[in-house]
Amino acid sequence: FFLAVVVCSANVLQEPSTEATERTAISINCSHPDIKITDFIHWYRRLPGRGPTFLVSSIKESKELRVPPGWLRVAADRRSSALWLARPRRGDAAVYYCALGD
């Protein structure tokens, strides 16, 4: 199945798409080289036929993600982050995207 990711801002870069095998861990990467000191890193997903839903956000530390199970990992310099999905299932196939902001 496919997990799609999109560019959501001029300040954020993501791969256009990625493919995953069910229940095999995957990392979805986001580059934000121009992040400001006050910016939070937000991750969302949009399931087919639905609006976007918030997943997790952080200003600098890594955080556990409960649904779907995984982690948000933030680089020490905050210029990139990755959403690591531990056991993605078909129902997790969606558009995943990151954004910066307050």
Backbone angles phi, psi at 92, to 5 degrees: -90, -5
Kindly list the domain boundaries of the chain, sorted by start residue: 35-66+90-101
Tens of pLDDT, residues 48-62: 899 989 999 999 989
Q: What is the pLDDT of residue 12?
A: 61
- The percentage of residues in the chain with a pLDDT greater than 70, rounded to a whole number, is 78
- The percentage of residues in the chain with a pLDDT greater than 90, rounded to a whole number, is 35
pTM for the model stands at: 0.81
DSSP 3-state of 88: coil
Q: What is the pLDDT of residue 89?
A: 85
**pLDDT level of residue 5 (50, 70, 90 thresholds):** very low
DSSP E strand boundaries for the chain: 2-5, 13-14, 17-19, 26-31, 40-46, 52-58, 63-65, 70-74, 80-85, 95-101
Report, as an integer, the average pLDDT of 36-50.
91
Architecture of domain 35-66+90-101 in this structure: Sandwich (2.60)
